Amino acid sequence: MERGVPIRAVSRSIAVLQCINRHGSLSLMEIARWVSLPYPTTFRIIQTLLHEGLVECEPTRKHYRATQLVQTLSVGYRENGNLLSRARPHMVALTRKLSWPVSLVTHVGQSMMVRDSTHSETSLSFCNYEPGYTLPLLECASGHAYLAHVPDSDRLSMLAGLETLDQRSHMLEMFKGDKLVQRIREDGYATCERNPHSAVPRKTSSIGVPLFEGSRVVGAMALVFFASAMPMAEAVRRYVEELKAMAEAVSDELTQDLSLQPAPAARESRGAPAHPTLRQASAVC
């Protein structure tokens, strides 16, 4: 097999397990629909996960849920850096000011994963997004903001991986080119109207901004609001500058932390350009 090309069966199995983790309990038909796989393929994957003890069938209905054994998949993982501790106070402050929740997300595989959120801090939210909730990279504002700011070679590599997994879309083709990427970079933010893959599909919209540690993009933050509350253009007018200011403040703190790290990390960080200035404009994805 060509180096770097994923094993499709493994990728699909991971997608099924992530889907079950995200939604809690699903039927086979629901799982197949969420991960866009044929029913027979989904059935074989579920049978394998049952055999390995990672999922179980509910005793009263044909729904599948994760078992405690999935916790073994995180054994050995250790959190690095100050991202969560630096971002949290700013997220809470902005939510208290604007009332809308804010999510902190980072790139993991082919997804953006929620690391923290303030959904529980406000009544203007349909549900609370716990850490670990994932969103497709190409179908959320935070993913667009992140993808537009990684090095071009990394971006094309990520897109090639998505294409290998048959996750082709018009957004994939748009991110292959420079026009959309350059626009988001110049604007400093990206948007997604009526988010299709939230816990309440198409009920919310979001504005995403990148986070930097020195010159390296390390994640994104997204302001989430009810799609019925206002059109995207109005949300951008009201909130984007404060959202960008928050992201810039967090990025400044992360960059300062980086400069204080002991050698060799400190030596490597010197000379790195500061994170790009977040400028106002308009980019609706």
8-73 has CATH 3.30.420.40 classification: no
Q: Tokens in use for 190?
A: 């990206």
DSSP state of 274: P
What class does CATH assign to 83-269?
A: alpha beta
Alpha-carbon distances, residue 249 vs 20, 111, 255, 271 (angstroms):
36, 25, 10, 20
pLDDT one-digit tens code per residue, 165-184: 655 678 898 999 999 999 99
Q: Where in the chain is the domain with CATH 3.30.450.40?
A: 83-269
Gap between the Cα atoms of 134 and 137, Å rounded:
9
Residues 6+ apart with CB under 8 A from 163: 172
Q: Compute the mean pLDDT over every residue in the chain, rounded to the nearest whole number.
A: 86
Q: Which of 76, 73, 130 is nearest to 103 (CA)?
A: 130
pLDDT for the residue 77: 56
Gap between the Cα atoms of 21 and 123, Å rounded:
25
Compute the average pLDDT of residues 145-154: 95
pLDDT one-digit tens code per residue, 57-74: 998 889 999 898 887 887
